[in-house]
């Protein structure tokens, strides 16, 4: 049994490194549907549930310290990639489809929560899930921390996210060959040539990591200090909102041009996911089928609203499908779907998904607080 903080963190770091290496180097189709973040969570949860870690006072302290400091740092780096100038070049149909996707997802969460009579734990967990389905896993963690979602409830939400996300990706990819039929039904124009020149502010280089880490940890410290002076809802929510604000402001500076923010933020995300997973207990998964059914109901209602909106505003299948997956799937899957329509449109999927980093936290907190106020 591991009982020292250093070995605890080293074990999780080694797990992350091995999973990332396997998923990035392997050519198995399985890893296209099960992202590394889900595997990291699953295996760290397996280690925790098997009694590998002794959660004594020292390990609990390092868990809290690491998570508290990395969360705002990660949010700051994620939001550095947002480029509003390019986003607003997407055009009327894509912008309309994106707004429709965000609003319909939020509305669907509220309706389904009312139908299923969510209790407080389920409301908080689905608030975190709303953060994921409007942004990404990073937003899910931020919202979950702000709403004080328990490790077991967060584990259930992550399973719901993974299962329904996989089904959603498969459905949207299946519909690609039927785009012409759909567009005839909605009477949409299919001229997407103007999107070919749209770029993406996100860089995938790997330079100056020390500068990014220093700034990110500095922002984390500043956010926590300011949160002690004034509080909105609770301390964690205040820290999350401040870090997001600093990230948005940073996206207008030269910090955005420093390569590697995506990689550093993703590394921080993996560490936080492994930490949370290590404290989840598999035995707490009773009633998970209800969670999955509720998640599927949200997606079906979202799909219906998107269909009605597409008919009403004459939107094409590409616009509503990519807008939907940019929210629900994020950067990992939206570009893939965009590429199935046209390889030159990959950047459109990336841009929409990156905007989710901004929308996800605020949208998830909005939905989560409504769900918690409903019972």
pLDDT number for residue 205:
47
pLDDT number for residue 96:
92
pLDDT number for residue 201:
47
Q: Which two tokens stand for residue 58?
A: 């020292």
pLDDT number for residue 281:
65
pLDDT number for residue 10:
95
pTM over 0.85: no
pLDDT number for residue 283:
55
3-state helix/strand/coil string of the chain:
CECCHHHHHHHHHHHHHHHHHHHHHCCCCHHHHCCHHHHHHHHHHHHHHCCCECCCHHHHHHHHHHHHHHHHHHHHHHHCCCCHHHHCCCCHHHHHHHHHHHHHHHHHHHHHHHHHCCCHHHHHHHHHHHHHHHCCHHHHHHHHHHCCCCHHHHHHHHHHHHHHHHHHHHHHHHHHHHHHHHHHHHCCCCCCHHHCCCCCCCCCCCCCHHHHHHHHHHHHHHHHHHHCCCCECEHHHHHHHHHHHHHHHHCCCHHHHCCCHHHHHHHHHHHHHHHHHHCCCHHHHCCHHHHHHHHHHHHHHHHHHHHHHHHHHCCCHHHHHHHHHHHHCHHHCHHHHHHHHCHHHHHHHHHHHHHHHHHHHHHHHHHHHHHHCCC
Per-residue pLDDT tens listing for the chain (375 residues) = 898 999 999 999 999 999 989 888 877 776 766 778 778 888 888 898 888 998 899 999 999 899 889 988 988 888 887 776 777 777 788 889 999 999 999 999 999 999 999 888 889 999 999 999 998 888 898 899 889 888 778 888 888 888 888 788 888 888 888 888 888 998 886 555 545 555 554 444 445 678 888 889 999 999 999 988 887 767 887 888 888 889 888 888 888 777 778 788 888 888 988 888 888 765 555 567 888 899 999 999 999 999 999 999 999 898 899 999 989 987 767 877 887 777 667 777 777 887 888 888 899 999 999 999 986
């Amino acid at each position: 049994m591991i009982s020292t903080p250093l070995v605890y963190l080293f074990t999780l770091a080694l797990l992350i490194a091995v999973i990332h290496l396997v998923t990035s180097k392997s050519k198995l189709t399985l890893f296209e549907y099960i992202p590394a973040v889900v595997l990291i969570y699953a295996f760290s949860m397996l280690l925790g549930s098997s009694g590998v870690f002794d959660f004594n006072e020292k390990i609990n302290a390092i868990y809290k310290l690491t998570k508290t400091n990395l969360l705002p740092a990660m949010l700051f780096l994620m939001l550095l990639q947002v480029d509003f100038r390019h986003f607003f070049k997407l055009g009327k149909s894509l912008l309309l489809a994106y707004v429709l996707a965000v609003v319909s997802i939020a509305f669907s969460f509220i309706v389904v929560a009312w139908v299923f009579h969510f209790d407080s734990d389920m409301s908080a967990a689905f608030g975190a899930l709303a953060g994921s389905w409007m942004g990404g896993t990073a937003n899910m963690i931020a919202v979950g921390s702000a709403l004080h979602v328990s490790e077991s409830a967060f584990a259930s939400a992550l399973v719901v996210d993974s299962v329904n996300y996989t089904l959603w990706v498969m459905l949207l990819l299946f519909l690609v060959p039927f785009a012409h039929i759909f567009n005839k039904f909605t009477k949409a124009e299919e001229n997407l040539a103007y999107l070919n020149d749209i770029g993406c502010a996100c860089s995938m280089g790997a330079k100056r990591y020390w500068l990014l880490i220093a700034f990110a940890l500095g922002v984390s410290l500043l956010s926590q200090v300011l949160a002690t002076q004034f509080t909105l809802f609770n301390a964690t929510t205040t820290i999350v909102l401040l870090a997001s604000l600093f990230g948005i402001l940073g996206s207008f500076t030269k910090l955005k041009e420093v390569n590697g923010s995506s990689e550093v933020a993703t590394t921080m995300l993996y560490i936080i996911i492994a930490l949370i997973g290590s404290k989840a207990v598999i035995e707490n998964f009773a009633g998970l089928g209800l969670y999955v059914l509720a998640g599927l109901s949200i997606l079906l209602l979202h799909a219906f609203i998107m269909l009605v909106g597409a008919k009403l505003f004459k939107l094409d299948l590409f616009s509503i499908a990519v807008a939907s997956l940019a929210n629900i799937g994020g950067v990992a899957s939206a570009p893939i779907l965009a590429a199935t329509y046209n390889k030159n449109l990959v950047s459109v999927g990336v841009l929409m998904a990156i905007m989710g980093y901004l929308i996800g936290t605020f949208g998830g907190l909005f939905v989560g607080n409504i769900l918690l106020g409903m019972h």
